[in-house]
Structure 1
Amino acid sequence: MNYLKRHPFPVVARFDRVVAVSFAFPQEVLRPLVPEGLEIDGYEGLGFVTVALVWTRQLRPAGFPAFLGQDFFLAGYRVFTRLRDESGRRLRGLKIIGSETDQRRMVTLGNLMTGYNYRQVKVAIETNGTATRIHTTRPDGSTTLDLTFDDCGGEIGLPAGSPFPDWRTARRFAGPMPFTFSPEADGSFVVIEGSRADWTPRPVVLKEWQVSIFDEPPLKGVTPLPANAFAVNDIDYRWSRGRIVRASKPG
């Protein structure tokens, strides 16, 4: 079982659309979400939780025909982090804190082969012109995510209250990152490297949002700052098989 959870083979998929919205929190608030061995990748004392919305098609082991792939919607919650390995390299990536999907099979497969904490939700997607609303709910009807963005193009400003001075700086925390990090019981990490042919995100307008994990410890009671919002379309993506990496010891 441990072997399977280490993402034992490469996987490919196509992303019809990806929308990533990052929210800033004081780094010390995010620390309980990040295991020892990982650093919080921050900006001026702030760390970032990203909500990634992904319209996914044909997810399958590399080499399998596309018609065997899985189509699903994913809402992922991640913290920007860094891992310094034993050779001294600093790998920049994401610690996944939760994943939601509309497909039961993806919950089973995702939790079997990764540490990404999948759960099934009901997903409602509404479009009105260039605006899109994503509303996800648990089986009991409670909301886990309610987010509206407008992919209207043109000159778009940073979200109100963003800690970034400009879009160029904000782009550093837009994703995707090269690596994801999943902790093992012995203090090592399963590191999965992702790659894509092209990734040219464009700013979108964040109109309204409700994120339920922000109402849970350790984030409860802390006001998140919307930091950036980006979209990208038509991306072929590949994840390498997981490998075990040990963090360098402090000092």
Structure 2
Amino acid sequence: MSLLPSLRGVIDRRILVNFRLDPEPLADLLPDGFEPRTVDGVAIGGICCIRLTSMRPAGFPAVCGLASENAAHRIGVAYETDRGRESGVYVPRRDTDSRLNRFVGRRTVGRQSLAEFDVAEGDGRYELSMRSLESDVSMHVSATEAETLPDDSVFESVAEASAYHRCGAVGYCPTPDGEELAGVELDTDEWGVTPLAVESVGASLFETSLPDDAVAFDNALLMEDIGHAWRPRATRPASA
């Protein structure tokens, strides 16, 4: 299958809400060929809450770009390729408030569902919630900018957490027919994260798909105002 052109835009705001997951129950959520990418024996999953602006095909002027709110449920994985073992994320579902994203994205980033987003931010505070319009999936997070990660985080430092996510730039999501996994790589002009102190958080997909004792909040990270491109990767078979 021929790859589509890259998309260019700006990450206006990206919040990575991360959970510690028990690797064993994840076997039922991951396609064949993927295994959890662990830190001290713990798998990392979460939700990327991202507002994109100036999104357009690479080479087009920014004035032609569109904006949207999006959420991607992610699980850190490792897998084999022709180039050897690589790290990335498996994205069991994507949600967006843009009908155009939903239509166009099916050929680039995989299956997307329509959702309603409520966002309030300012003075270092972020409150975001998402509710799917097509299922009972929802999430929310309330947080403020901080200097350090939570004391019980599996990561020893912000730099270590940042490096983990930077190595997971390639994501695979089921296509609308479920027969393949669409691959896309996030290529940022720069990379930098700020920790967030989370006051409340919830993620129905992880909470209902895994046992109660298999999911625990770990940390949240913030990225803002970063130029980027989405570059298609070859699809993979979705055997599970």
Band of TM-score, shorter chain? 0.7 to 0.9
Distance 1:139 1:10, change over 3 A: closer
Distance 2:180 2:214 in 1: 32
Provide structure 2 residue ranges, at least 5 long, that are not aligned to the other structure. Answer: none
- Kindly indicate whether residue 66 of structure 2 is the aligned counterpart of residue 70 of structure 1: yes
Question: Any idea what the Cα deviations from partners look like across 1:195-224, whole Å, max 9, x if unmatched?
Answer: 11211111111111011102322x143342
Distance 2:159 2:108 in 1: 35
Letter in 1 for 2:157: D
- Kindly indicate whether residue 135 of structure 2 is the aligned counterpart of residue 144 of structure 1: no
| Residue from 106, 120, 129 that aligns with 1:135 | 129
Distance 1:182 1:213 in 2: 15
Letter in 1 for 2:229: R
| Residue from 181, 192, 198 that aligns with 2:190 | 198
Distance 1:16 1:32, change over 3 A: same
2:204 aligned partner: 212
> Secondary structure, in 3 states, of the residue corresponding to 1:174?
helix
1:249 aligned partner: none
1:236 aligned partner: 227
Q: Could you tell me the percent identity over the aligned residues?
A: 20
Letter in 1 for 2:200: E
- Highest CA radius of gyration, 1 or 2? 1
Following TM superposition, by how much is the alpha carbon of 1:180 offset from its aligned partner in structure 2, in angstroms?
A: 1.8
Alignment of 1:119-134 (within 5 A): 119-127=113-121, 129-134=123-128
TM-score (norm 1): 0.82
- Kindly indicate whether residue 8 of structure 2 is the aligned counterpart of residue 16 of structure 1: no
> Secondary structure, in 3 states, of the residue corresponding to 2:25?
helix
1:41 aligned partner: 37
| Residue from 99, 104, 122 that aligns with 1:109 | 104
Following TM superposition, by how much is the alpha carbon of 1:127 offset from its aligned partner in structure 2, in angstroms?
A: 3.3
Bigger share in strand: 2
Letter in 2 for 1:95: Y
Provide structure 1 residue ranges, at least 5 long, that are not aligned to the other structure. Answer: 247-251
- Pairwise CA RMSD: 2.8
Distance 1:93 1:211, change over 3 A: same
Q: Is the Cα–Cα contact under 8 Å of residues 9 and 61 in structure 1 kept in the other structure? A: yes
Distance 1:191 1:143 in 2: 23
TM-score (norm 2): 0.85
- Higher mean C-alpha deviation, range 136-145 or range 194-203: 136-145
Q: Is the Cα–Cα contact under 8 Å of residues 21 and 174 in structure 1 kept in the other structure? A: no
Q: Is the Cα–Cα contact under 8 Å of residues 174 and 230 in structure 1 kept in the other structure? A: no
2:90 aligned partner: 95
Following TM superposition, by how much is the alpha carbon of 1:179 offset from its aligned partner in structure 2, in angstroms?
A: 1.5
Question: Any idea what the Cα deviations from partners look like across 1:147-172, whole Å, max 9, x if unmatched?
Answer: 11112x4x33x235322333333333
Size of the aligned set, in residue pairs, is 236
Following TM superposition, by how much is the alpha carbon of 1:189 offset from its aligned partner in structure 2, in angstroms?
A: 5.7
- Higher mean C-alpha deviation, range 31-40 or range 202-211: 31-40
Q: Is the Cα–Cα contact under 8 Å of residues 196 and 238 in structure 1 kept in the other structure? A: yes
Would you identify which runs of 4 or more consecutive aligned residues in structure 1 move more than 4 Å?
140-143, 182-185, 187-190
- Kindly indicate whether residue 218 of structure 2 is the aligned counterpart of residue 227 of structure 1: yes
Distance 2:4 2:14 in 1: 25
Distance 1:222 1:38 in 2: 23
